[in-house]
Amino acid sequence: MAMVAIQNLRKLVNEGLNGRVRVLIAWVFCAWLVLVADRYPSMLGAAICFIGATLRFWASGFLRKDDRLSVGGPYRFTRNPLYLGTFLIALGGVVSVEAWVMGVALTLFFFFVYDVVIEFEETKLREYFGSAYLRFCKLVPRFLAFRAPAPKEDLFDLNRSPEAHEFSWEIAMRNKAFEAYWSFLGLMGFICLVVYVRSYFHL
């Protein structure tokens, strides 16, 4: 009974995380930053945030939404570079203002919610790509692992299209790749604005 209840809860979480809900979560995250930000962004936090944005940008140039697996670029290292990039952007914002409690909450929330979302997505991908996706899962970790990236030869067997293994500016623009850097700049600028207003009005 407990397992059935957990599965039902995970299904509800997955179904509830539509685009509007994710935007709402982003606004809640920003509101929390307003409450805790009391210093300008640190170089470490900004660097983590920038790495996350770059990872999303890089992945956008390989994400071909067709009938073949995305296996090039960052997909050699992680099956979910876009989600990982999003997490790093948010984590960079937290680290930049040294909001450690918020960082723990963010990490727990992210890995619970996205574990649910990814599980349902992977179920669909297994149904669509079959044994090829199962092999991809064995070659590449869900997020990250301390091991060498998957061999290019093995990934080429999963997708023999040469274009799939090269970054495409056309695909990147189609996937709105630069939005990742706007998110980075917006988050860092937002933190700076909050800190400036607080210091100016002695809040």
Measure the CA angle with vertex 187, ends 172 and 142; round to 5°. 55
Give the pLDDT confidence score for residue 37 in this predicted structure.
Answer: 85
* pTM for this entry: 0.86
Count Cα atoms within 13 angstroms, Cβ side, for 80: 20
Give the pLDDT confidence score for residue 9 in this predicted structure.
Answer: 52
Helix, strand, coil proportions of the chain in percent (round to 5)? Answer: 75, 0, 25
pLDDT band at 4 (very low <50, low <70, confident <90, very high): very low
Q: What is the pLDDT of residues 63-119, one digit of tens each?
A: 987 778 999 999 999 999 999 999 999 999 999 988 888 888 888 888 877 778 888
Q: What is the pLDDT of residues 11-25, one digit of tens each?
A: 555 555 555 666 677
